[in-house]
A and B are shown apart, each in its own frame.
Chain A
Amino acid sequence: MPPPRGSSILRNLQSQCSNRLFHAGDSIVTRCPRPIPTRSPVQPGAHNRTFTTRTLRPRLPFQSSIYLRQFSTTSYLSHGHLTHPKPGEELKVTFVTKEGNEFTFEVAEGDNLLDIGQAHDLEMEGACGGSCACSTCHVIVEDQEMYDLLEEPDDDENDMLDLAFGLTETSRLGCQVKMKKDIDGLKVKLPAMTRNLQASDFK
């Protein structure tokens, strides 16, 4: 099927699809629907969903009917940092949003938590672009044992964590935590934004 003229988004989509998800000759229209989330058998519950990298975006609470869905030209596809996991080598990582909703993604080894969170439109900022120069991608590892399996944070990361709000014993910067086989099933919490910020909070 020839690429539709004048539609760079569709072209983009087609290249993504044909590269990664589809066989040559498949029709985009029939084979590129919005994928349906598959519920994870190990994590039942209304808010627990499993997603595979690059296949779909979770529906976030703020995208409820009261707010309009934003058409974003910088979708997760353009972040371009994520690698597609090889079949059988998917690692699971779960994010718990500040509202308490859980999202599980299947990702490849080597991807960092900031890229994963942003690729799936979670409310996770990386003001410094993942260069360990701010504390906006602060995450809290839920399980102490899992935290101990991570590589120790270096001085630069600790310096930034010192400035993070709601710092805990198991806090890390998302941009510095890379997925590995031994931390398959990692679960991290996004810290609640602190309301009631006053000047004294910054001293």
Chain B
Amino acid sequence: MKYILRHPLTRSAAWRSQRTSCNPRFINTLHQPGDPKVASRRADAPFRLAIIGSGPSGFYTAYRVQSKLPTARIDMYEALPVPFGLVRFGVAPDHPEVKFCINKFDEVARHPNFTYIGNTPIGSESLPFSSLLPNYNAILLSYGASKDKTLNLPGESILSGIHSARAFVGWYNGLPEHRNLNPDLERSDGKAVVIGQGNVALDVARILLTGVDELRKTDITEYALEALSGSKIKEVEVVGRRGPLQAAFTIKEVRELMTLPSVGFEPVPPSIIPQDTSTLPRAKKRLMDTINKGTKSYPLEKNWKLSFFSSPTAFLSSSSNPGQLSHIRFEKTAPVEGTNGDKVVGTGEHKDVYASLAFRSIGYKSEPISGMIEAGIPFDEKKGVVCNTLGRVARPTPEGDIQVPGMYTTGWVRRGPTGIIASTMMDAFDAGDNIVNDWLSGVEFLGEQGDVRMGWEAVKREHSNIGLKAVHWSDWDKIDKAEKERGKKIGKEREKFGTEEEMMAIV
């Protein structure tokens, strides 16, 4: 018996309100256990999934879907020619072991039912989002967080010497978008300030303080190495608005900075950081102990410090050089009572920190892909995430969330830009489980029951009109090989191509 569910957005409020008896937070209008109208699908029913974004969240979801539904045909779209998202462009070059997950992704990509389509941004300017809709049963949004948050402070966008940490990380990791960042590391005052206290902030500090001979062994780009070898940065201050217990960085990154050769750590005043840590939860306790322990000696040739309870209010220049950052004004903050230090308030007391280089590292945010909103996918502008319930794209209504058929999301575009690879993996496994379970239980997906979707074979025709050459996995193999050969010549594991043109020339 063929049964076609109505689109949830067209269902009457009365119909929906009948359903509020289940989980009031989530009304899964598409699947009610025991619903006689829902016929389950066979495991070998043809299933086409489009994944937008080739970072760890997309690949781990593909891996999960493949292992539970090997007949699923998965097409992965990536804006750049090269895959792996933040594993390639975000993970620090001196953390090669974190990039090991690429081996798993490579295995996933070689599955006979998997197609990689690189060099293909989805959106109005290239392949429209709408062209995917008629060709897939489901679409997974896993394109991450491509923009960074700004402070919107006076001088921030005018003065030179202020960079986003994201751009700096992209620059040393070979992200084509930031190839020409050219941060001025040779200014004589030798001090850099990083605003924000997450792991990206510590990555920036570590790259600035690590000796270039250490970095030379990694896959850091050659142009970054050259700029860093001329760096005069001797001091890095990492500033946070809140206290040490609220800092977002993790202990591994702190420990690495504490063990860098000839880098000292300026002790945090005991009035600011807890000295008796015995009552703290394990992770916080170990983190505080590591900070309190600091480095064996201070000061050394290069130094770094953590500053707390300081909120930036303005970027300022000196009168002798009006276009260049000379100092940053911070307002001292104090914790608001009863919030456990999670909220702080300005005290009105200001201090200036002199530095000609500043990195803004206060987080990333996601943006909707053009055409996505029109396709009925709700986007929460404030949180910068696709509205979802446990990875199922869902439109919030007063009565509960209403699932959008066939649309799923995972990774940073689902939950915001936090978390390590393990959390991204678990999140992706959840998304994969949801997709497979929904499919097998027979709920509504894109199109009608029994539709055969053609996936990339059909999209390909439209793709040929946009004037971009699709990059497939065999092409990535060529780029990969060429990069490794380039690296071998100079004693590195890999020398990345810094521009898309160079990548495409290999293909």
Contacts and interface: CB of A to CB of B under 8 A. Distances in A.
A136 B425 contact: yes
Interface in B193-241: none
A38 interface: no
A3 interface: no
Interface in B25-67: 43-44, 66-67
Contacts of B252: 156, 159-160
B70 A133 contact: no
B251 interface: yes
A129 B287 CA distance: 25
Contact of A127 (B68, B95, B419, B422): B422
A56 B252 CA distance: 38
Most chain-A CB neighbours within 10 Å: which of B287, B416, B419, B423?
B423
Interface string A139-161: 00000000000000001101110
Contacts of A136: 421-422, 425
A78 B100 CA distance: 17
A64 to B, nearest CB: 10
A201 interface: yes
Given A127-B425, A196-B390, A203-B418, A159 B250 contact: yes
Interface in B411-425: 415-416, 418-423, 425
Contacts of A160: 252
A118 B104 CA distance: 13
Interface residues of B, number: 43
Contact of A167 (B44, B71, B282): B282
Interface stretch (B168-176, B268-276, B426-434): B426-434
Contacts of B283: 162-163, 167
B107 interface: yes
A193 B429 contact: yes
A193 B422 CA distance: 11
A193 B104 contact: no
Contact of B100 (A70, A127, A164, A196): A127
A57 to B, nearest CB: 14
A146 to B, nearest CB: 21
Contact of A155 (B98, B255, B282, B429): B255
Given A194-B426, A201-B423, A68 B43 contact: yes
A202 B419 contact: yes
A190 B45 CA distance: 32
B98 A133 contact: yes
Contact of A163 (B250, B255, B415): B250
A62 B282 CA distance: 35
A134 B427 CA distance: 15
A70 B423 contact: no
A70 B70 contact: yes
A91 B402 CA distance: 52
A62 B64 CA distance: 11
A154 to B, nearest CB: 11
B158 interface: no
Most chain-A CB neighbours within 10 Å: which of B67, B251, B422?
B422
B286 interface: yes
Contacts of B383: 199
Interface in B240-265: 248, 250-252, 255
B490 interface: no
B440 A66 contact: yes
Given A68-B44, A128-B97, A133-B98, A198 B422 contact: no
B100 A131 contact: yes
A128 B101 contact: yes
Interface in B69-109: 69-71, 95, 97-98, 100-101, 103-104, 107
A134 B255 contact: no
Nearest to B68: A67
Contact of B415 (A128, A135, A164, A199): A199
A133 B95 contact: yes
Interface in A39-77: 62, 66-71, 74
Contacts of A69: 70
A162 B251 contact: yes
A69 B419 CA distance: 32
Given A68-B70, A70-B66, A197-B415, A164 B107 contact: no
B252 to A, nearest CB: 5
Contacts of A134: 98, 101, 420-422
A156 B383 CA distance: 34
A132 B100 CA distance: 11
Interface in B440-461: 440
Contacts of B436: 67
B250 A133 contact: no
Nearest to B99: A128
A165 interface: yes
A2 to B, nearest CB: 29
A135 B251 contact: no
B1 to A, nearest CB: 20
A125 interface: yes
A20 interface: no
Contact of B98 (A66, A71, A128, A156): A128
A34 interface: no
B97 A131 contact: yes
B282 A127 contact: no
A86 interface: no
Contacts of B440: 66
Contacts of A135: 420, 422
A127 B103 CA distance: 9
B86 to A, nearest CB: 14
A159 B259 CA distance: 14
Contacts of B101: 127-128, 134
- In the complex, the 10 A-B pairs of residues with the closest C-beta atoms, listed nearest first: A202-B419, A162-B283, A129-B100, A133-B97, A131-B97, A199-B416, A202-B418, A70-B70, A127-B101, A159-B252
Given A131-B97, A160-B252, A163-B422, 5 more contacts: A129-B97, A132-B97, A162-B283, A193-B429, A202-B415
Interface of A: 62, 66-71, 74, 125, 127-129, 131-136, 155-156, 158-160, 162-165, 167, 193-199, 201-203
20 contacts: A70-B66, A74-B107, A125-B425, A127-B101, A127-B104, A127-B421, A128-B101, A131-B97, A134-B101, A159-B251, A159-B255, A162-B251, A162-B282, A193-B426, A195-B430, A198-B415, A199-B383, A199-B416, A201-B419, A201-B423
